[in-house]
Amino acid sequence: MGRTAVGSRTAEAIGRLETALLTLGLLLLTGFNEPTSATVPERAGSEPGGIEIRFETPEGRPDLVTVVVIGLEPADSTVDLRPPSEGDRLDPRIWRDILRVVAVEPDFGAVPSDFPSLLGSYSWARDETGAQLRFRPKFPPTPGIELRVTLDQTAWRGLSPDESGADFTARWTVPDLTRAPTTRVEGVFPSGTQGETVVVPSNLLRLYVHFSAPMSAHAVLPHIELLDDSGTAVPVAFVGIPGGLWDPERVRLTLLVHPGRVKRGVGPNQAMGPVLEEGRRYRLRIASQALDADGLPLVEAFEHEMLVGPPDLQPPDPQQWQLDLPKDPQDALRIRLLEPADRALLERLPWIEGPDSRPVSVDSSASVDGLSLTLKPHQDWAPGRHVLVIPPELEDPSGNRPGRRFEEAGQDARGPGEEIRVVFEIRF
């Protein structure tokens, strides 16, 4: 799990995205006085408005897929596109421009606008969730083929492009069930010591799921459940980010525990209570149906057990971290924390300023428990005064930042805070 301190721009961008999303979520939630209604759990592409694109497949026959759009009321459209009655076939020559389904081979680039759509039939159906627009391919798509679905808001709503908003898209790859799955969940963090159930704070904000190989760009959250000690799935446990929140290699998935339910006193917390209740046991379950980048399911489902302890209200205090200084110019600098930090942020954020006041290039590796950080220099350490710089975005797994508790975040106008500088001297 090494990371080069020089880092990739993408990794940094993802990090910023994580932070930005969290901040945005908090700002929005802080504004709510009334309990908010529960949002629909994320499926293969969903938006807060409730429109959702699903790929329905019978058990064992993913090639017999039906593309289903829910949350799309015929009354939303100002164009008279409605069929005479439910179940009627819709004219594909009209509907293929409204719900465009394109089948492409893996790694196909941008689809030209004059590219043919997948042949199939369109129909309306209705169930307890409301109207459904359904598309059934005429021929079962070949395993490995990617379906790219676009709901053209302009065509659907009959409004001008300015008024209709962005098109709504989803992707899905037909898995090849004749090939044996090879991808597994390697672990979920925070994790405990081998063989022991991890104790997590009740205000835990992030969980990380590590996969053994890159995962599909399609939605993974429908395949992840948080089960309480009675085996009941906890509703709205995680923030529904379309496509999921991934690292650039798509092997690490970040699950954001719904911050509105973690933060006390805001709408969702008051309405639904916290996601994790102190003293109870939970299991995070990743079903084998989650697809890897080849469109194959996982080798097996994975379960991660957690015992919930008291909330962590203590901000990280880097000044208390213990630095195990290098004794040799090629030695790593080892840092031990008193309480766990968010592992991904710990690995990414802290950096070293050298005696020349310039960054020292290091490989950064955090332990799975988030309790230690190892910084290995690319070149020999130069003796002299160094500074361990901890940016203000560093958080513990409960979202507390140096000098500021999660509970306080978003409620003051202090900005992102200041970086922490820990000065140390290297001598040989």
Partner 1 sequence: MRKTLVLLLVLLTVPALSVFAEGEESSGPELSSISALAFGPDGVLFVGDAKAGSLFALETGDTTPGKVTERMGIQDVETRLAAMLGTRSSEVLIHDLAVNPISQKIYLAVSRSRAKWESRWQLPNDLGDAALLVRIDADGEMEAVETESMNWTKADLPDPVGEKEHRWKKGTSLRVDAITDMVFDHGTVWVAGLSNEEFASAVWRLAYPFSDKATKTTVEVYHGAHGEWETHAPIRTFVPYRLGDTDHLLAAYLCTPLVTFKTADLSDGAHVKGRTVAEMGSGNYPLDMVVYQKNGEDRLLIANSNLPLMIVNPKDVASFEGEINTEVEGYIAGVPYEIRSGNGIQQMDRMGDDWIVVLQRLPGGTLDLYNMSVKRF
Residues forming the site for partner 1 (CB under 8 A): 93, 102-105, 114-119, 137-142, 144-145, 147
What is the smallest separation between the CB atom of 144 and partner 1, expressed in angstroms? Answer: 7
Between 104 and 301, name the residue whose CB sits nearer to partner 1. 104
Q: Which H or E run includes 98? A: helix 92-98
Distance CA 143, CA 294 (A): 9
Q: Which H or E run includes 323? A: strand 322-324
Distance CA 334, CA 342 (A): 17
Between 139 and 424, name the residue whose CB sits nearer to partner 1. 139
Q: Which value, to the nearest 10 degrees, does the dihedral of the CA atoms of residues 59, 60, 66, 71 take? A: 40
Between 291 and 420, name the residue whose CB sits nearer to partner 1. 291
Between 172 and 282, name the residue whose CB sits nearer to partner 1. 172
Distance CA 123, CA 135 (A): 7
Q: In what order do the strands lie in the sheet with 384-390?
A: 359-360, 351-353, 384-390, 420-426
What is the smallest separation between the CB atom of 134 and partner 1, expressed in angstroms? Answer: 16
Tokens representing 271 are 């309405």
User: Any residues with CB less than 8 A from the CB of 123 and at least 6 apart, and which?
Assistant: 83, 87, 88, 89, 90, 133, 134, 136
Distance CA 47, CA 71 (A): 10
Between 8 and 142, name the residue whose CB sits nearer to partner 1. 142
Between 103 and 207, name the residue whose CB sits nearer to partner 1. 103
Q: Count CB atoms within 10 A of the CB of residue 383.
A: 12
User: Any residues with CB less than 8 A from the CB of 121 and at least 6 apart, and which?
Assistant: 89, 90, 92, 135, 136, 138
Between 116 and 161, name the residue whose CB sits nearer to partner 1. 116
Measured distance between the N- and C-terminal CA atoms of the chain, rounded to whole angstroms: 29
What is the smallest separation between the CB atom of 115 and partner 1, expressed in angstroms? Answer: 6
What is the smallest separation between the CB atom of 119 and partner 1, expressed in angstroms? Answer: 5
- CA distances 276 to 226, 241, 273, 334, Å, are 10, 20, 9, 33
Total residues found in the chain within this entry? 428
Between 145 and 266, name the residue whose CB sits nearer to partner 1. 145
Between 169 and 212, name the residue whose CB sits nearer to partner 1. 169
Between 118 and 188, name the residue whose CB sits nearer to partner 1. 118
What is the smallest separation between the CB atom of 220 and partner 1, expressed in angstroms? Answer: 23
What is the smallest separation between the CB atom of 111 and partner 1, expressed in angstroms? Answer: 8
What is the smallest separation between the CB atom of 223 and partner 1, expressed in angstroms? Answer: 24
What is the smallest separation between the CB atom of 61 and partner 1, expressed in angstroms? Answer: 14
Helical segments of 287-402, H only: 343-348
Region for 378 from its dihedrals, namely left if φ exceeds 0, alpha if ψ lies in -120 to 50, beta otherwise:
alpha
What is the smallest separation between the CB atom of 109 and partner 1, expressed in angstroms? Answer: 12
Secondary structure E strands in 152-222: 168-173, 185-189, 198-201, 206-211
What is the smallest separation between the CB atom of 135 and partner 1, expressed in angstroms? Answer: 11
Q: Count CB atoms within 10 A of the CB of residue 78.
A: 10
Between 115 and 428, name the residue whose CB sits nearer to partner 1. 115
What is the smallest separation between the CB atom of 323 and partner 1, expressed in angstroms? Answer: 56
Distance CA 255, CA 415 (A): 25
Distance CA 367, CA 28 (A): 33
